[in-house]
């Protein structure tokens, strides 16, 4: 496969992600938020009959990361589809910025989602963006840090591919199958609706994020008083 194909596919994903975020109360996304939103869409993509990306997110400094996404957003910005917010430097010397769609980017997004071949990806992105918005865009990193594939892989090694749909390892797909088996037990139903599965999965992520011992400790620490 040509090296440009994964980037072209990620250009589609970035455009749909920025549109989904915009429609659900986040007009701009930071670099980390964009990575995380696309990761979450990839995690549930198989439920929408979408094939996984050819190159997966990998474990990195701030959670799952895919270099192709960064290349894609840079490429979209260069072509005038994505606008960059103010550049700023973090304490650690990293350059931080935020991304949003330009009017041309918005038209491009509309064109992509009207294409029947891409409609499923568009639905998946829209659903994930809506669920993240309900929980809060500020908590998207926590949600990703609660995702079981990343939880299992993060301690092992740096730059490990995150195979979220591999049922042979501790993965999101394994957890989702467990969820489906559990909620359908006792009912005479042939299938569990996709929307219920996706909502249940995000409820799990939100519960883990809220109940993790680290977060509980943080919420128990009183803020320092200024003198």
Partner 1 sequence: MLNQPHEREAMARATRSPATLAAVGTGIDRDLCEQFIRSCEALVRANEARLRNRQVAFVLDATAASGSRRLSMSLINQCLTSGHPRIVVAADLSFVRCDEAVLRLFESQERTRHEKSVELVFSGTYAVYVVAGVVVFDADVVRPERELPVASPFRRPLAEFDAILADHSEDVLRSERGLTYWYDKKNRVLLANPDKTEKIFHRSLFRWLDNNVADALRVFGETRGLGQDATDITVVTPSGSCAIEVKWLGTNENGQDCGEITITQGLKQVSLYLERDPDLIGGYLVCYDGRSADDNREHCFYDASVMHVDCEHPKVIFLESETPSQTARRIHTSRRKASG
Interface positions with partner 1 (CB under 8 A): 146, 148, 151, 170, 174-175, 178-179, 181-189, 192-193, 195-196, 199-201, 203-204, 207-208, 211-213
CB 35 to partner 1: min, Å: 23
In terms of CB distance, is 97 or 199 closer to partner 1?
Answer: 199
In terms of CB distance, is 67 or 212 closer to partner 1?
Answer: 212
In terms of CB distance, is 94 or 170 closer to partner 1?
Answer: 170
CB 100 to partner 1: min, Å: 28
CB 178 to partner 1: min, Å: 6
CB 19 to partner 1: min, Å: 22
Rg (CA), the chain: 18
Q: Which of 93, 77, 91 is nearest to 29 (CA)?
A: 77
Q: Are 129 and 21 in contact (CB under 8 A)?
A: yes
Q: What is the Cα–Cα distance from 47 to 77, expressed in whole angstroms?
A: 31
Using a 10 angstrom Cβ sphere, with 0-12 exposed, 13-18 middle and 19 or more buried, the burial of residue 154 is middle
In terms of CB distance, is 111 or 177 closer to partner 1?
Answer: 177
In terms of CB distance, is 102 or 210 closer to partner 1?
Answer: 210
**Which positions ≥6 away from 106 have C-beta within 8 Å?**
19
In terms of CB distance, is 185 or 220 closer to partner 1?
Answer: 185
CB 94 to partner 1: min, Å: 30
Number of H helices, E strands in the chain: 10, 7
CB 64 to partner 1: min, Å: 18
Strand pairing category for 98-101 and 82-84: antiparallel
Q: How many CB atoms lie within 10 A of CB 146?
A: 21
* SS3 label, residue 58: strand
Q: What is the Cα–Cα distance from 113 to 123, expressed in whole angstroms?
A: 8
């Amino acid at each position: 496969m040509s090296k440009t194909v994964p980037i072209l596919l990620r250009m589609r994903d970035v455009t749909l992600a920025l549109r989904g975020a915009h429609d659900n109360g986040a007009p701009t996304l930071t670099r980390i938020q964009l990575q995380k939103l696309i990761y979450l869409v990839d995690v549930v993509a198989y439920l929408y009959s979408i094939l996984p990306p050819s190159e997966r997110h990998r474990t990195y400094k701030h959670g799952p990361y895919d270099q192709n996404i960064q290349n894609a957003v840079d490429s979209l910005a260069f072509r005038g589809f994505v606008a960059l917010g103010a550049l700023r430097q973090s304490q650690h010397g990293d350059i931080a910025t935020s991304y949003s769609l330009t009017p041309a980017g918005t038209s491009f997004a509309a064109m992509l989602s009207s294409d029947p071949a891409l409609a499923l990806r568009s639905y998946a992105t829209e659903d994930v963006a809506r669920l993240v918005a309900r929980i809060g865009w500020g908590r998207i990193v926590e949600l990703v840090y609660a995702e079981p594939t990343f939880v299992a892989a993060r301690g092992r090694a740096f730059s490990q591919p995150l195979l979220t749909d591999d049922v042979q390892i501790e993965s999101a797909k394994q957890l989702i199958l467990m969820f489906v088996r559990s909620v359908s037990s006792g009912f005479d139903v042939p299938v569990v609706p996709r929307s219920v599965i996706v909502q249940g999965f995000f409820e799990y992520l939100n519960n883990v994020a809220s109940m993790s011992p680290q977060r509980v400790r943080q919420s128990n620490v009183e803020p320092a008083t200024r003198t």
